[in-house]
Amino acid sequence: MTGGAASKATNGWRVAVLGGGAWGTALALAMLRAGHSVRLFARDQETVEAIGHGENQRYLPGIALDPGIDATSDIKMALADADCVLAVVPAQSLRAMLTAAKTHMPKGVPLVLCAKGIERETGALLSAIVEEILPKNPVAALSGPSFATDVARGLPTAVVVAARDAGLAADLAARFSAENLRCYSSDDLIGVEIGGALKNVFAIAAGAITGAGLGASAQAAMVTRGFVELRRVGAAFGAKPETLMGLSGLGDLLLTCSSAQSRNFAYGLALGQGKPLAGLPLAEGVPTAAIAARIVTERWIDAPIITAVAAILDGTITIRQAVSALMTRPLKTETDL
């Protein structure tokens, strides 16, 4: 399974998808299109029944689901005889999910992270959590500029699949690819994780700037300088610069910072407009901002946008105060990274 690059398997895998939200449901559809059989685990029995009836009304309304998705609220059943497992739960829920799955997880099968974030309590990247709880299962990550609704509808989308073992990454990318879903491979797991986690923080900033009516120029400046911060943090973690220039870095940053389809952008938009935040869909960038701000402070990484987003979210400063502080920072050359 971890050999060299392979063409898409003629005999499909048994793929377990852990998570019945919009992204989990969309990836279940994508795996069916790639020729695999799919079992999807969701905690909520109502979601399980809805998927069985052909539509996940709560998370992916209006999109017809293939009856081939076998949904269940029994995690043991979902994982039975799986050849590959996709973990599609929020980053802050991953540890609990893996702990529940541990005794049922088939040994040696790859676990592919499909959430993006940094664990708030420990500052751990998600791959480190997998390696701690499931040391006998190789870990990979799927990331890139992709909205669940686009993938579910079969619209053209490109993502990257990363693992430390380049052969495993190439094999997974080949097996997951299908018509209108192109998967590239990478051996830079850390770089892909950093890009996926931090773009959510910058998407909140982009939404807040838009919501506060600060203009397209301010938003463009924030996204550009946010990418500089992404490169700084990535370098500190040993990420490859070319990874951050790719789909899981710059590509995902551009998508999530430009559309209210992004939950993080939508959260920032409501924040900038002064609207109530209670009841909004989960925005992974909120807990990630707090821990990312702590990390950049402890590592002496110059990342003023990350720290400003964290301060805005905890109520320490307002959006306009944050922008004013950023605009009055000492001048330096643009290429001073």
Over pLDDT 90: what percentage of the chain? 90
Give the pLDDT band of residue 336 (cuts 50, 70, 90): low
User: Is the distance from CB of 168 to CB of 194 less than 8 angstroms?
Assistant: no
Q: Which residues pair with 41 in a beta bridge?
A: 18, 72
Residue 52 has what pLDDT? 94
Q: CA–CA separation, 275 vs 263, rounded Å? A: 15
Residue 5 has what pLDDT? 34
Give the pLDDT band of residue 3 (cuts 50, 70, 90): very low
* pLDDT exceeds cutoff 70 at 11: no
* pLDDT exceeds cutoff 60 at 306: yes
User: Is the distance from CB of 309 to CB of 204 less than 8 angstroms?
Assistant: yes
What is the CA 94 to chain-centroid distance, rounded?
12
Tell the burial category of 278 from Cβ atoms under 10 Å away from its Cβ (0-12, 13-18, 19+): exposed
pLDDT tens by residue, 256-298: 999 999 999 999 999 999 999 988 888 999 999 999 999 999 9
∠ at Cα 142 (9, 154), nearest 5°? 70
Which residue has better confidence, 279 or 336?
A: 279
Average pLDDT (205-211) is 95
Residue 281 has what pLDDT? 84
Residue 41 main-chain phi, psi, to 5 deg: -100, 130
User: Is the distance from CB of 285 to CB of 200 less than 8 angstroms?
Assistant: yes
Residue 4 has what pLDDT? 35
CB neighbourhood size of 326 (10 A): 16
pLDDT tens by residue, 108-128: 999 999 999 999 999 999 999
Q: So which residues are the catalytic ones?
A: 199
Q: What mean pLDDT is reported for the chain?
A: 94
Residue 10 has what pLDDT? 44
pLDDT tens by residue, 43-95: 999 999 999 999 999 999 999 999 999 999 999 999 999 999 999 999 999 99
* pLDDT exceeds cutoff 70 at 1: no
* pLDDT exceeds cutoff 90 at 328: no
Q: Name, in order, each residue with C-beta under 8 angstroms of 293's C-beta and a sequence gap of 6 or more.
A: 303, 306, 307, 309, 310, 311
Average pLDDT (324-335) is 82
Point out the least confidently predicted range of 219-233, 247-261, 275-289. Answer: 275-289
Average pLDDT (32-44) is 96
Residue 51 has what pLDDT? 96
Average pLDDT (313-329) is 90
Average pLDDT (35-47) is 96
Residue 331 has what pLDDT? 77
pLDDT tens by residue, 154-201: 999 999 999 999 999 999 999 999 999 999 999 999 999 999 999 999
